[in-house]
Structure 1
């Protein structure tokens, strides 16, 4: 088992793809996928790689910008994503700063989800995710 790693530059397109798949296959419009954000600052890259290899499914996607990791977990609600997060906490022997958002409950478009993630992390953890600025809506 292991998630598939995508370039951070493709994060918005990855979300658009998952939205398209969810819209096509999920008639209930339940929590079709969840985005789990984790700050992995201070954790050795070898430990991160080992944990990702052993915790994530092959259907899960990984995008990171430095030590800010975003996991797209298809057909996973917030409860299921919280279980994944707890597995990361155990693997890293550390409580990780994290946040969860689900499609479509927390946003209908990639820009909405990314903006909500940026705002939520800023309010909840008191730090910004300027790496997400590139995906902001242009008004």
Structure 2
């Protein structure tokens, strides 16, 4: 636990990679590769090609060789980077070749009113008390 914490402190201070970089940690079983999603003292969080998050203990990253690829590397195309903001404006409609089903300007605002004096909906309606007494 102490080695993991100390390794994490060294990773945070030295910053051999930053959020958004792709790294590959080489190990005995092959390697783990992904985009750096988050770095903290205990773990380095990587987002993999299959959109999973792998949490690698900081001691494993610090004690094993790793390769750092820059954030703008062409090989990053297979990874979906959720650490960067989108390049398009989400408030603007997406322009397409097909005609839209409706335009936002066509939608009219309707005022909603609540009728609190209305009878409840359904088949069951109570009869007034006087009608029951007369029968």
Normalised to the residue count of structure 2, the TM-score between the two structures is 0.24
Larger Rg: 2
Higher helix share: 1
Q: RCO higher in 1 or 2 (8 Å CA, sep ≥ 6)?
A: 1
Normalised to the residue count of structure 1, the TM-score between the two structures is 0.23
